[in-house]
Amino acid sequence: MIGIFCVFSVLLGVAYATIIGLYIYYWRQIPIYDKPLTKAAAKATVSIVIAARNEADNILDCLGAIQKQSYPAELLQIIVVNDHSEDETAELITQFFPRVQLLHLPKGSTGKKQALTLAISKAESEWIVTTDADCTMKEDWLSYLMSFCAVHEPQMLAAPVSFQHEKSIFEYFQTLDFMGMMGVSGAGIQGEFMYLCNGANLCYRRQVFEEVNGYAGVEHLASGDDMLLMEKIVKKYPDGLAYLKQSMAQTYTQAKPTFASFLSQRLRWATKSGSYQSWQTKAILAVVWLFCWAIFVHFLLAVVVDTSYGWYGLLLFACKAIADYFFLGMMARFFGRAGLMRYFIPSLIYHWVYILIVGTWSLLQKKYDWKGRSVR
């Protein structure tokens, strides 16, 4: 039985390396897009929609960055939906950004999907752009998004998100890990085998949102306003997705300062995985989770059965390390932060441990805390 497990573990290692190889290959196939729109060429109307709950510490920086965009202000509508904030989020918007359209979720309606649905119902533009209330961006961010949409005419466009202002090794790990997620998102869309994105930097046609009936069918899930919507759109428009490979088009946010807040965030993301429609996405996530468990079990067998099993564990861990090193190194160079690779070894260990914990926990625990709420 243990011999069969060893063979299975090796096959998992081969599968893991193959998956990372596919990510590297398809990421490199995406051309870097380097054509921001000039103000004279800009024509499309855009509604930027933001769901905000208890974001008093971040909302001013976010809206300030949006108002500094090089994209023509007359083509831009900014809508923020206050999701029953218990701090001064709404008051700050009213005081410092009176031209921003501020909406409030009615009593009995809560959550990001409900907030975005309300915002989009009030949107008047051809394009919807979503970002988060704790994000900032460079001044040509929107110009790159709209230029790409004008040239390639996608139904939905995903773009990069990254962390900044790290203060610890743990936060540097999160930055590297998140860069990896951006690579996975871009490669999956390019190769048409995995559909991931992040709502902190997402663009789609308002008409398409209405055509797929918005979040109908997934509205009961607190998370998934991005990827579950993407799956609905790709089902209707199989060739309608694109990824904007341009670091100037990224949005910036900050890593979680504590392990507890990090686990809460990743659990929120992981609990929606059971609702994915794509079998490829589910299969890849299962391979990664099983591979990390296989490494752990081999180390456990080395302690309780025979030390020789530890060599299998080290071989598998080395396989993960080599694959991750090439992939994350490529992504760190793309984001202009190659120096982050000095934190690769601790990040490798953090990643292995968190996959074990979050992957398993998400199967057992469907309720989690988010911004003072207990949600599913």
**53-94 pLDDT, tens per residue?**
999 999 999 999 999 999 999 999 999 999 999 999 999 999
Neighbouring residues of 264: CB distance < 8 A, sequence distance ≥ 6: 368, 369, 370
**136-174 pLDDT, tens per residue?**
999 999 999 999 999 999 999 999 999 999 999 999 999
**338-373 pLDDT, tens per residue?**
999 999 999 999 999 999 988 888 777 666 565 665
Q: What is the pLDDT of residue 374?
A: 58
Long-range contacts of 344-350 (CB under 8 A, 24+ apart): 344/176, 346/169, 346/173, 347/172, 347/173, 347/176, 347/177, 348/320, 348/321, 348/324, 350/170, 350/173, 350/177
% of the chain at pLDDT higher than 70: 94
Neighbouring residues of 177: CB distance < 8 A, sequence distance ≥ 6: 347, 350, 351
CA angle 49, 165, 34 (to 5 degrees): 60
State how far the Cα of 328 lies from the Cα of 184, in Å rounded to an integer: 11
At residue 288, does pLDDT exceed 70? Answer: yes
CB 124 within 8 A of CB 210: no
Q: For tokens 């625990």, name the residue.
A: 365
pLDDT, mean over the chain: 91
Highest mean pLDDT among 149-158, 211-220, 275-284: 149-158
Any idea where the domains of the chain sit in the sequence? 2-26+279-366, 33-257
For residue 375, what pLDDT band results from cuts at 50, 70 and 90? low
Q: What is the pLDDT of residue 341?
A: 97
For residue 25, what pLDDT band results from cuts at 50, 70 and 90? very high
- 33-257, CATH topology level: Spore Coat Polysaccharide Biosynthesis Protein SpsA; Chain A (3.90.550)
Long-range contacts of 342-347 (CB under 8 A, 24+ apart): 343/169, 343/172, 343/173, 343/176, 344/176, 346/169, 346/173, 347/172, 347/173, 347/176, 347/177
Q: Which of 146-160, 183-197, 278-292 has the lowest mean pLDDT?
A: 278-292
